[in-house]
Amino acid sequence: MDLQLSGRVAVVTGASKGIGLAVAGTLLAEGMRVVAASRGRSAGLDALAGGSLVHVPVDLMDPEAPGRVVARAVEEFGGVDVLVNNAGGPPPGVKLPRFSFMAPTDDDWREMFEFNLFSAVRAIRAAIPQMLRRGGGAIVNISSGSARQPAPMNVDYGAAKAGMNNLTKALSEEFGPQGVRVNTVSPGPVLTAWWTEEGGAADIIAGQAGTDRESVLKSVAPEMMGLTTGRLVDPQEIADVVALLASPRSGSTTGAEFVVDGGFLKAV
């Protein structure tokens, strides 16, 4: 299926690994020009290098950083058609999960919201005028099943992502009539560095459960989180949905949430 994305310009945050890297690669494969924002490069991002990819090294905890990324897209490619707010998860230097509401401090809450919500707010604020100048565009916000499945674990993260869901709906109402579609993709647990890196979620849960990292990834985590598929989500499965939502072929889809979570959410 031709997604009609060839020649369009996308900004993807958190693009050096995991979901963001898969999104950047997928949009490039569809013929888009991609501005990839991340704190550093990676082997995966280097493998995508070419004339259609520009990497902008930024720390999105810096309030000025999202605007600089959008400005770079305008400078390099003339505008912005698609914004994918993917950066999120543990803020730099933070390890998750935390297992109680009492665990995060005020500073932890502020950092979580800066990284998972406010960075997206700032990127959207910078991108929308550029989209309107080009007659419209598409924003895809990467949220989480945790936004709609409250739990004592990672309470601050779930609250930030719930804000992302609300933001998406509000933006779709205001800017949909002007041609800017805004949608959310809510992953469940995804097989990314958040889980797999040393000291990451798999190791933390393994320490709590008295088992090892591989067992957590293969069976403990899927069982603990009630995943119907019995496995963590692959980043490419998220990227495929993002590409469809970015496409003009989704022209009547706005203010929607697409859940790609292995069956994590059970509610109707």
Q: In this structure, is residue 4 part of a structural domain?
A: no
Q: Are 158 and 151 contacting, i.e. CB atoms less than 8 angstroms apart?
A: yes
Same domain for 122 and 225? no
Same domain for 110 and 209? no
Same domain for 197 and 179? no
Q: In this structure, is residue 263 part of a structural domain?
A: no
Same domain for 97 and 167? yes
| Domain CATH number, residue 175 | 3.40.50.720
Same domain for 157 and 228? no
Average pLDDT across each block of 10 residues of the chain; the chain has 268 residues. List them in order: 97 98 98 97 96 98 98 98 97 94 98 98 98 98 96 95 98 98 98 93 94 96 96 98 98 98 95
Q: Catalytic residue, from 157, 194, 258, 264: name it.
A: 157
Same domain for 217 and 247? no
Residue 97 has a pLDDT of 94
Same domain for 148 and 39? yes
Residue 103 has a pLDDT of 96
Same domain for 138 and 25? yes
DSSP 44: H
Q: In this structure, is residue 267 part of a structural domain?
A: no
**What total of structural domains would you count in the chain?**
2
Query: Is 103 annotated in the active site?
Result: no
Same domain for 221 and 180? no
Residue 268 has a pLDDT of 86
Domain that holds residue 200: 190-232
Same domain for 71 and 52? yes
Same domain for 166 and 182? yes
Same domain for 82 and 195? no
